[in-house]
Amino acid sequence: MNQTNLAINELNLAYLTGQQSPEKLILSLIKEAKSQQAVWIHLLDEEALKPYFEGLKSKSPQTHPLYGVPFAIKDNIDLAGVPTTAACAEFSYVPEKSAFVVEQLIEAGAIPIGKTNLDQFATGLVGTRSPFGETPNAFNSDYISGGSSSGSAVATALGTVSFALGTDTAGSGRVPACFNNLVGLKPSKGLLSTSGVVPACRSLDCVSIFALTATDANRVFQVAAQYDGEDCYSRDNPVANQKPVLAKDSFTFAVPLAEQLEFFGDDFYQAEFEKAVAQLEAMGGEKKALDYSPMLQAAKLLYEGPWVAERYIATQDIIENKPEAMLDVTRTIISSGNKPLATDCFSALYKLQALKKQADLLVEQVDFLVSPTAGRHYTRKEIKDNPIGNNSNLGYYTNFMNLLDFSAIAVPTGFTANKMPFGITLFSFAMQDQSLLAYADKIMQNNQLTLGATQWPFKAETLQTDVNSGFIDLAVCGAHLSGMALNWQLQERDALLLEKTRTARAYQMYSVPGQVERPALIRSDAEKQAFEVEVWRIPTQHFASFVEGIAAPLGIGKVELEDGRFVSGFIAESTAQTGKNISEFGSWRKYVASN
C-alpha cells in the first residue's frame, strides 16, 4: 500500500517540503491500482497523464487548493478522451469534453488517475452488479463494498486517491462510504453540475464526493460547487454555504422512533448505532426522537413509484435495442420504467409534495437529523442469494434524500465487533452542506479513527471559517421569524436559516404598534428573560438594503444568545418601553398566537 498519506493537507505539506512530487507519486499510485481487483475500469497511462502534469507547471500548492491531488472518477462521469461505459461495454462512448465538475477540479490542480467500477447504469447499492467484476470491500472481501459508486469508494479507502467522485441518486454516495470507513458527501441537488454525467434519474441525480476526512470533502466541495449554465438543474450556492462554518458546542439532533429503526437482523449495526447516538450526546448533543414516517414513505416512491421511468429514459436505446447488453438484474429493475402512466406520475408528485411539507416540519426542530447510513452490512453471498430484496433494504435510510431535497453526509463513527466499518448519516435542508460538514468534522475529531482502510492517523485541522467571508449572521425575534409576516424580506435576500435558539436571560420584550406590529428586545437589569430567536445568515451585499427598511425605535446591535455568543440582531431604544410588556410569553410567536 502507498506510504504517502493522501489526506489533502498532508499531501500539500509533502509537496511544499519536497518530500514528494506529483508525477512520481501519481505514477506509483497507478502501478498500485493495477493490482486492485474490480476497482478500476480504466487507468490513465503515463502518456495520457502528461497534459495534467504539464498543467501543474503554472500552479502551486499555495495558489491552487487541489494541486497535485490524485482523484478517481466514477465511470458514468465524463473525462475527456477516456471511454465512459457506465459499466456496460455496448453503451461506451469517448467524450471530447470532461464533465463540468471534473473541469473545475482539474483547474484547481487535481489529477485524475482513472475511471472506477460501478453497479451498471448506477442502479444498485451493492457494488456487485458490474460485468467488470464485483468490487470487494476494502476491509473484508467477503462483504460487499456498497454501490453503485463501489470503485470510487474502495479506491479512496485503500489510499490510492485522496478523493473520488461518485453519483448519488438513492444512496450511492453514502452506503459505500459507510462500508469502507469514509466520508460520503451528498451535496444539495444542483450544487455540483451533472453536465457530462450519464443520468440515472436526471431530476434527482447528484455528483457525490468520497473523502478520507470531512475537511477534505469540504475542500473538494468548495471547488466543485460552481453554477453551470449548461445544466438546467444547476443551482447557485448561496454565499452562506460557500465557506466552512463552526459547529456549535451544544446542538440538537433527531433520530427515528425506536420502532422505525431497521437493522434487518444485524445486531452489530444496531449496537454501533446506539453507541454513535450516545457519542453525539456526550459531545453536547440533545437527542430528540421524531416520527420519520414522511421520510420512510417518500423512500418507497423512488422504486415503487414512477421515478423508475427516468432510468428507462436514460437507457432507452440499450434496453430497447440491445437488452442482452444489460445484466439481468439491471434490466429487470429498469424495464419496469416504461409502465407508469402520466397519471401515476402526477399522483406520485402530489403525494411527494405532501410528504415534503411534513418532513420539513421535522427538520425545522433540530440542527440536523441522524440515521444509520445503512441498516445492515451484507456479505456478497447474501446479495447473490437475494439481489433485489437485500439491495432494497440498503436504501431504507437513503432513498428519500433527493426526493425531499435534503443535503446529507455519511460519516464513520466506529467499527463493529467483527471489525467492519459503521457510520451514520447527518441530514438537513438543502444548502446546509457546510453546517453538516462542520458536524461531521466534529464527530471525526471526537472518534479519531484511522483513515479509510489505511493505517494513516486522523489529524485534526481547521479550515478558514465564516469570519468576514461575505455574510452576516443575524438574530431575529419577531415578524422576520419563519412563517411570520416579514420573513419574506430575508428570503428574497438569499438568507439561510442557521438555527433556532434563545437569547441569554438578559432581556425584556415590548410590543411596538404600527402598520406591522413588532417586538422590541431590550436588555434589562430586572426581571430578565430569555426569548425565542432565529439566526439567519444574510449575504453582506444585501444587508444594507435590509437595515434600511428598519423603522425606529428598532435597530441592529449585538444580541447575546443562551450559549454566551454575541451575534448581530434586532435591539430597541429605551423609548420602546412605552409599549406593552409581553415578556411573559417568552416568544413573539406565542404572543401573536395569543391574539
What's the pLDDT at 3?
81
Alpha-carbon span 397 to 394, nearest angstrom: 7
Residue 549 pLDDT greater than 90, yes or no: no
391/124 Cα distance (integer angstroms): 7
DSSP for 215-274 reads: HHHHHHHHHH----TT-TT--PPPGGGSS--PPPSSEEEEEE-GGG---TT-HHHHHHHH
Which is more confidently placed, 419 or 580?
419
74 flagged as catalytic: yes
| Joined grid coordinates for residue 331 | 434490466
Please identify which residue in the block is written with the cell numbers 468520497.
Answer: 210
Class of domain 8-245+375-447: alpha beta
Residues in Cβ contact with 94 at an 8 Å cutoff, skipping those fewer than 6 apart: 81, 82, 83, 84
Provide the 3-class DSSP secondary structure of residue 537: strand
Lowest mean pLDDT among 180-194, 288-302, 505-519: 505-519
Which pLDDT band holds residue 468 (cuts at 50, 70, 90)? very low
Fill in the DSSP letter of residue 317. Answer: H
Which candidate in 74, 186, 189, 243 is catalytic?
A: 74
* Burial of 202 (C-beta count, 10 Å sphere; 0-12/13-18/19+): middle
Burial of residue 291 (number of CB atoms within 10 Å: 0-12, 13-18, 19+): middle
Q: Is 355 left (phi over 0), alpha (psi -120 to 50) or beta?
A: alpha
Cβ atoms of 136 and 46 within 8 Å: the answer is no
pLDDT in tens, 202-242: 999 999 999 999 999 999 999 999 999 999 999 999 888 99
Q: Which of 150, 172, 511, 583 is labelled catalytic? A: 172
* Residue whose C-alpha cell is 409599549: 579
pTM: 0.83
Report phi then psi at 519, rounded to 5: -95, 150
pLDDT tens per residue, range 319-344: 999 999 999 899 998 888 888 888 98
Residue-range domain boundaries for the chain: 8-245+375-447, 471-594
CATH match of 471-594 with 3.40.50.300: no
3-state SS class at 546: helix
Q: What is the pLDDT of residues 66-84, one digit of tens each?
A: 999 999 999 999 999 999 9
Rounded to the nearest 10 degrees, the angle between the axes of helix 8-16 and helix 214-224 is 80
Backbone angle region of 403, left / alpha / beta, with phi > 0 → left and psi within -120 to 50 → alpha? alpha
Mean pLDDT of 186-203: 97
- Model confidence over 286-306: pLDDT tens digits? 999 999 999 999 999 988 778
Q: Which three cell numbers stand for residue 83?
A: 471511454
320 Cα distance to chain centroid? 35
Indicate which residue of 130, 145, 148, 162 is catalytic: 148
pLDDT digits (tens, 9 = 90+) for 33-61: 999 999 999 999 999 999 999 999 999 99
Q: What is the DSSP letter of 466?
A: S
Let me know if 372 is exposed, middle or buried by CB neighbors in 10 A (0-12, 13-18, 19+): buried
Helices 214-224 and 433-447 cross at an angle (nearest 10°) of: 160
